[in-house]
Structure 1
């Protein structure tokens, strides 16, 4: 039996969004390192770097030192092909709901080809609808329903443990089924889709929110491949070109 590939763990990042308390960042880094994870990304943390984070990290200050800080979750996930949000709520926003063991298998399988991410929200409010809309799935920890509140670092520890166990149990993994589009490619498609729907007068550009969230959920359910994104954007461009040509010729009609 061959040993498990350490590169798989190196391509799994833990993303902490809008963390309020620096001590939780340090404790999360410690939880990661105990399970062999090292890629920490912080999105708009309230305080970082900070001595309290260093103290709570204990021997994992190297994880903190290597942490990347991003202003937005979109930037943090730009090169990933799979992002799973960890939350006990908002199941209606993300199509696929996984338990920690299932999430670990999905992440390790996809990490063979490109970076993947586990996304944790703010300690008090969790992940927002907008943040969840950037994820392709939701992970829920089956905690006691009468008291399901988990500390951020504890949640990171649970998921990191499941990832390590799955990694140790399977030295090899089948290739991912699709050449999935990256987060940046998918976000550019959504931007193009919103602009095209506004051009076609199907979408009110002043309030695109609800429709675009539903469309994001639809496409997240299908897991877009790179080639599919290119095809869809080609269709959108053709529709926009036809609309512009109709406007120039004075034959445009209104279908909204």
Structure 2
């Protein structure tokens, strides 16, 4: 039986955390997966640490000579994906054992205009600051996804989706991850590709925890100022692309993130 789904892991200096990510793929109830790991010029010996787990015919490793950033790394994987679906796994996160089986079964039941299937996410907080405040006890919480009635509903949700299981042909149709922003696709790559896709397609949500995200000191999302800049920059860009009918109104939330609180119709 041919594989129907590929796991794409963009990886930059995850250290030994990469081993947990890879082990979660090997532990899947659906075993006929493929895996493409794009090492984005790591200098932390993570590939060596995970060497035994990469020595499998289902695994392809791409090594970048220079650091390109997550969007360009994922586009390199997209170039060689040969399955109908693929799902992103960050190199410091992991799947539940039934994640691939659940995503694949659900995707096969969807109409052709569904480009992304996702579920719920469990976040484990183990930053140094948090651990010091809470006697070295990590925190866990579950964040639920939801369905979106249209592209503006998704935009105003200020959400991403997890895990992001994509229809390969849809991502190729929209040109893959955008890299024409001021940071060349290094920040907020998840929202940018989803906003491109939801212009032409719909998303489908499963009310089940399918992904575990580890919050630590080196997460890319810790770059709050850069993220807030790109949130505003890309929101304005995508609204122009969608017909230039609205002006976004932003507000900083309690966690320091810039949210879109409403869309103000343009006067003609």
TM interval, shorter chain, is 0.3 to 0.5
Query: When you count strand as a share of all residues, which structure comes out higher?
Result: 2
Which structure has the larger Rg?
A: 1
Query: When you count helix as a share of all residues, which structure comes out higher?
Result: 1
Q: What TM-score, normalized to structure 2?
A: 0.37
